[in-house]
């Protein structure tokens, strides 16, 4: 009888182990079984929002569950990203991070309510885009070197419209590399900056390929250089700044998918595989290119290393220039 009782206890314990130990794995293997939310920390209609919605449509088709995009704009992307950081790490809340939310903001703001490394699991890089240096066609400048030489001869002769923090970082980086006293004037957005450059009040602007595209196509602006390390398909035929006497000069803005910390590895692996699969689709790639994004992809580990290097690279430039966003 004692042997029988022992066998029953042993069998029962084994059964409990089978059903209790792998519970989290069972939950993960059933993923997803309800809608997935992607928080976008920017306003609806902006490039990051539209790209996220395109990606979400494709992820939904692959995983068989609705993907809902939720906009939580404010404080340079901090509000929405904080909300994502506080969400459960179960794979049902994700966020579309950017170079601002996951690399730059911690150096631009005095207080940060989230940690871009400790509070998130990287999933995959989604897209990148360079900034473009462009001038009004009435100016004599044909290359980045022309602008630098003009400013050397006469400081203030080619002031630069800066409609974003990214544009300001490009100016500071170019000042550091060239030793030329460039002067940038901050704007709240592309619209007002473009008005002044097109009107001849300023010679130069630094903006995204999407914002500049119609003005370059109409011949009202002329692109002098792109900040990617190599030629970008988003601005065909325009030489990188790196190839105009400044080797190693590179700045790209980026979007990447993240999950809250603690999201099971099997879920992040599934999401990474899904993102890479949909980014390989020609129709989605073309739509992202039309939006001004170079489709990316790659492993979660690559994204983690890339973002870390971005923080290491831009932190000293932001600090030395005294750039603050608050």
16 in any annotated domain:
no
Q: What is the dihedral of CA 204, 256, 231, 214, to 10 degrees?
A: -50
Co-location of 123 and 258 in the same domain: yes
19 in any annotated domain:
no
- Tell me the average pLDDT across 85-91: 98
Q: What total number of domains does the chain contain?
A: 2
DSSP 65: S
The position carrying tokens 């001004």 is 292
CATH number of the domain residue 300 falls in: 3.40.190.150
Co-location of 316 and 227 in the same domain: no
Task: Reply yes or no on whether the pLDDT at 39 is more than 70.
Answer: yes
The position carrying tokens 């240096």 is 133
Co-location of 161 and 96 in the same domain: no
Co-location of 206 and 139 in the same domain: yes
Residues β-bridged to residue 185: 161
7 in any annotated domain:
no
206 in any annotated domain:
yes
pLDDT band at 19 (very low <50, low <70, confident <90, very high): very low
Enter the pTM of the model.
0.86
Co-location of 232 and 280 in the same domain: no
Kindly report, residue by residue over 122-177, the tens digit of the pLDDT. Answer: 999 999 999 999 999 999 999 999 999 999 999 989 999 999 989 999 999 999 99
- Higher model confidence: residue 28 or residue 41? 41
Among 57, 64, 61, 69, which residue's Cα sits nearest to residue 31? 64
Co-location of 109 and 185 in the same domain: no
Q: Judge contact between 248 and 109, C-beta under 8 A.
A: no
Rounded to whole angstroms, how far apart are CA atoms 59 and 278?
Answer: 7
pLDDT band at 29 (very low <50, low <70, confident <90, very high): low
Task: Reply yes or no on whether the pLDDT at 260 is more than 90.
Answer: yes
Range of the structural domain that residue 149 is part of: 132-243
Co-location of 230 and 266 in the same domain: no
- Higher model confidence: residue 22 or residue 259? 259
Co-location of 222 and 136 in the same domain: yes
199 in any annotated domain:
yes
The mean predicted confidence, pLDDT, of the chain is 91
Residue after which a domain boundary falls, among 243, 263, 294 = 243
Co-location of 149 and 64 in the same domain: no
Co-location of 150 and 239 in the same domain: yes
Q: Judge contact between 246 and 177, C-beta under 8 A.
A: yes
Residue after which a domain boundary falls, among 216, 243, 270 = 243
Co-location of 164 and 263 in the same domain: no
Q: What is the dihedral of CA 300, 305, 308, 310, to 10 degrees?
A: -100
Residue after which a domain boundary falls, among 209, 243, 277 = 243
3-state secondary structure 172-220: HHHHHHHCCCCCEEECCCHHHHHHHHHCCCCCEEEECHHHHHHHHHCCC
Co-location of 153 and 215 in the same domain: yes
30 in any annotated domain:
no
Structure tokens at 113: 């309510």
Among 27, 51, 83, which residue's Cα sits nearest to residue 263? 27
Q: Which positions ≥6 away from 259 have C-beta within 8 Å?
A: 89, 91, 93, 94, 95, 120, 121, 123, 267, 268, 271
Task: Reply yes or no on whether the pLDDT at 262 is more than 90.
Answer: yes
Q: Judge contact between 70 and 82, C-beta under 8 A.
A: no
263 in any annotated domain:
yes
């Amino acid at each position: 009888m004692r042997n029988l009782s022992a066998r029953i206890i042993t069998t029962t314990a084994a059964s409990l182990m089978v059903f209790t130990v792998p519970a989290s794995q069972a939950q993960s293997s059933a993923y997803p079984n309800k809608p997935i939310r992607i928080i976008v920390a920017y306003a609806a209609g902006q490039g990051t929002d539209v790209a996220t919605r395109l990606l979400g449509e494709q992820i939904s088709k692959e995983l068989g569950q609705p993907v809902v995009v939720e906009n939580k704009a404010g404080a340079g992307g901090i509000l929405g990203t904080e909300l994502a950081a506080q969400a459960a790490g179960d794979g049902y809340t994700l966020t579309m991070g950017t170079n601002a939310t996951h690399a730059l903001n911690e150096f631009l703001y005095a207080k940060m309510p989230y940690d871009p490394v400790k509070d998130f699991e990287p999933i995959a890089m989604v897209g990148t885009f360079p900034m473009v240096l462009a001038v009004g066609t009435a100016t004599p400048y044909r290359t980045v070197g022309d602008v630098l030489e003009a400013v050397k001869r006469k400081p203030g002769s080619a002031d630069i419209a800066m409609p974003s923090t990214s544009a300001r970082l490009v100016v500071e980086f170019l000042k550091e590399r060239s030793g030329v006293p460039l002067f940038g004037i901050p704007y709240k957005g592309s619209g007002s900056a473009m008005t002044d450059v097109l009107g001849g009040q300023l010679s130069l602007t630094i903006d995204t390929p999407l914002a500049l595209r119609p003005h370059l196509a109409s011949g009202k602006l002329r692109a002098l250089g792109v900040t990617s390390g190599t030629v970008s398909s988003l601005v065909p035929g325009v030489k990188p700044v790196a190839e105009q006497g400044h080797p190693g000069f590179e700045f790209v803005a980026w979007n990447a998918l993240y999950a809250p910390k603690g999201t099971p590895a099997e879920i992040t692996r599934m999401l990474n595989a899904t993102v890479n699969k949909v980014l390989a689709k020609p129709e989605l790639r073309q739509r992202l290119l039309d939006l001004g994004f170079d489709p990316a992809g790659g492993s979660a580990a690559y994204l983690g290393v890339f973002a870390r290097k971005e923080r290491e690279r831009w932190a000293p430039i932001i600090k030395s220039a005294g750039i603050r966003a608050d």
